[in-house]
Amino acid sequence: MNTKSIRFRLTLWYSTALIISIAVIFASFYYITQQELYRHTDIILISHAKQVAQEIKQQFEDGYISSRDSLLYNEFGVIPGMMLVITDKEGKILNSTYPNTTVEHEINGLFQQIKTETQEKVLNQSFPGSTQRTILIPLRKENELIGVVMMGHPIDVIQKSLNSLLTNLISLFALLVVPTIFGGLILAKRAMQPVNTISEQMQRITSENLKERVSSPQTHDEIETLVLTFNNLLTRLEAAFTRERQFIGDVAHELKTPLATQQSTIEVLLSKKRTNEDYQKAIADLLIDNKRLTDTVKDVLDLAWAETDKTQISTESTNLTELMEELYEITAQLAKSKGLEVVKRFEKNVNVYIPGKRDKIFRALLNIVDNAIKYTRLGTISLSLTSGNGTATIRVKDTGEGVSADDAPHLFDRFYRGKNSHRVGGTGLGLAIAYSIVTSCKGSITVKNNEGKGSTFIAIFPKTH
């Protein structure tokens, strides 16, 4: 099994958590039971032993210790099996319910533990034949140890019960571990099943079948959200792919026509001997086609350039006021040959800054101005720049023939040329380039149409400051 898989990790976390919980519960149960059993024994043992200790202390003070029989069974009511040992201040056994020699070693050990203490001590001590819950009471007179009373109650039964409880708990724990891990595995498998299913479906989707979609599990959970998000991504990718394919087709088409015309002109020219005028005319035709090819290739490259780093957030900022002044100068020059008037309406003494690269923004606006000059025969072209409310607005207004209602929705499409364009040269890419640049600067571009009386192109940019 892949130890990096989510399924493995889920199983591991789940099993570990469950096993630890079970272990803690079992251990607590064992501990509480043990404490409870000892507590009962201790209560009886302590109260009994203290009475005995008081009596013995008196006897020590009187200098007389009762004989074994009367002391142990008659005087203090010690029940059979219970232990009572009395030692002097050196640990020598004065009286014992065990034959002295058999327990000397243990008694000595206990004496060492209590001889320096002032308080009684309760512990488990094993003696030959049985384990005793033992209380050790030091007897002191004016801080001097005069003897020790040791009393014990057999706890073999309790220990046996505790041992059997422990064995049972451990067996039960071992029995639970395997089902816990298997349960974890099954749960993790079920949880990951939809992920495996959709990842199989995703694998089948390539650039060739972008139309396919991953089927939604209809579970209203995170997996369904993931599928929906992925399908949305596919829709966008499909649209982008179709657009790019269409574009390649359009480019090929645009290049094919002038190339074919050039070829036939050359073929006709070569078919027989021609006059000098024929050659000149043919070369002039070739030049026109050549120019068209060059323009198209240049615009295609410009479009590619406009689209580069579109997704990156530009950190550059452009002084739009300054740029518009320069644009105005160029427009005035270009318009001169056609006898068009160019006017500017810029806000005075304000410098407007927008995000984006200067040369790109300039190229976008130049394309709009170029159209205004191309599609206007008489009149005025006006450039305006206004700003306010976080945005800067540029208007390029002309008094040309305007855009027809049919053309208006498609003006910004690649290679789209309007009805009014047949008399003037162009590739149909100018506005597509402008659109691509303006949107990459988080701006927008629209056209306000006044068919027959001119058009106004409006570009709105967010300001940087």
Ligand X SMILES: Nc1ncnc2c1ncn2[C@@H]1O[C@H](COP(=O)(O)OP(=O)(O)O)[C@@H](O)[C@H]1O
Least distance to Mg ion, CB of residue 401, Å: 14
- Cβ distance to Mg ion smaller for residue 14 or 457: 457
398 binds, among ligand X, Mg ion, none (CB under 5 to 8 A by kind): ligand X
Q: Which of 184, 174, 139, 157 is nearest to 23 (CA)?
A: 174
Which one, of 398, 343, 403, lies nearest residue 373 by Cα? 398
**Listed ranges 57-65, 128-136, 326-334, 418-426: which one lies at the site for ligand X (CB under 6 A):** 418-426
Nearer to Mg ion, 76 or 412 (CB): 412
Return the number of the residue (184 or 426) whose C-beta is nearest Mg ion.
426
Structural contact between residues 151 and 83, judged by C-beta atoms closer than 8 angstroms: yes
Environment class of 190 (CB within 10 Å of its CB; exposed 0-12, middle 13-18, buried 19+):
exposed
Nearest to Mg ion of 152, 426 (CB atom): 426
Is 421 an interacting residue with respect to ligand X (CB under 6 A)?
Answer: yes
Buried b (16+ CB within 10 A) or exposed e, 286-322: beebeebbebbeebbebbeebeeeeeeeeeeebebbe
Q: Which does 375 bind (CB under 5 to 8 A by kind): Mg ion, ligand X, none?
A: ligand X
Per CB under 6 A, the list member of 95, 125, 399, 427 interacting with ligand X is 427
Minimum distance, C-beta of residue 432 to ligand X, in the bound complex (Å): 6
**Min CB(219)–ligand X separation in Å:** 48
* Closer by beta carbon to ligand X, 327 or else 411: 411
Residues 355-414 that bind ligand X (CB under 6 A): 367, 371-372, 375, 398, 400, 402-403, 407, 411
Measured from the CB atom, the residue of 154 and 426 that comes closer to Mg ion is 426
Q: Compute the C-alpha angle 325/349/396, nearest 5°.
A: 40
CB of 361 within 8 A of CB of 423? no
- Give the nearest distance from C-beta 383 to ligand X in angstroms: 13
Please, which residues have CB within 8 angstroms of residue 89's CB and are 6 or more apart in sequence? 144, 145, 146, 147
Cβ closest to ligand X, residue 130 vs residue 420: 420
Which residue among 147, 258, 428, 443 contacts ligand X (CB under 6 A)? 428
CB atoms within 10 A of CB 326: 13
Nearest C-alpha neighbor of 49 from the set 150, 175, 195, 180? 150
Q: Closest-CB residue for Mg ion?
A: 430
User: Which of 262, 371 has the CB closer to Mg ion?
Assistant: 371
Nearest to 395 by CA among 408, 409, 406, 380: 380
Size of the site for ligand X (CB under 6 A): 23
CA 322 to chain centre: 44
3-class secondary structure for 197-249?
HHHHHHHHCCHHHCCCCCCCCCCCCHHHHHHHHHHHHHHHHHHHHHHHHHHHH
CB 86 within 8 A of CB 93: yes
Helix (H) or strand (E) holding 377: none
Which of Mg ion, ligand X, none is residue 318 near (CB under 5 to 8 Å by kind)?
none
Asked if 417 touches ligand X (CB under 6 A), the answer is: yes
Q: Which of 184, 356, 426, 443 binds ligand X (CB under 6 A)?
A: 426
Is residue 420 part of the contact set for ligand X (CB under 6 A)?
A: yes
Under the binding rule (CB under 6 A), the answer on residue 96 touching ligand X is no
Q: Give the dihedral of Cα atoms 252, 254, 257, 263; nearest 10 deg.
A: -70
- Smaller CB separation from ligand X, 198 or 411: 411
Q: Identify the residue among 145, 431, 438, 441 touching ligand X (CB under 6 A).
A: 431
For residue 119, the 8-state DSSP code is: S
Per partner kind, with CB cut-offs from 5 to 8 A, the member of ligand X, Mg ion, none near residue 421 is ligand X
Cβ proximity to ligand X: between 356 and 418 the closer is: 418
Residue numbers of the site for Mg ion (CB under 5 A)? 371, 426, 430
Residue 139: count of CB within 10 angstroms of its CB = 22
Smallest gap, in angstroms, from Cβ of residue 276 to Mg ion? 36
Q: Which is nearer to ligand X, 382 or 387 (CB)?
A: 382
User: What span, in angstroms and rounded, lies between the C-alpha atoms of 282 and 280?
Assistant: 5
Which option in ligand X, Mg ion, none does residue 302 bind, with CB closer than 5 to 8 A by kind? none
What residue 91 binds from ligand X, Mg ion, none (CB within 5 to 8 A, per partner kind)?
none
> Taking the complex as a whole, how short is the minimal distance between the CB of residue 311 and Mg ion, in angstroms?
26
Shortest CB 426 distance to Mg ion, Å: 5
Binding partner at 223 among Mg ion, ligand X, none, C-beta below 5 to 8 Å by kind = none
Q: DSSP H helical segments within 272-389, as ranges?
A: 276-307, 320-336, 358-374
C-alpha count within 13 angstroms, C-beta hemisphere, residue 84? 25
State in angstroms the smallest separation of the CB of 411 from ligand X.
4
Place of tokens 């039971």: 33
**Binding residues for ligand X (CB under 6 A):** 367, 371-372, 375, 398, 400, 402-403, 407, 411, 416-418, 420-421, 426-432, 455
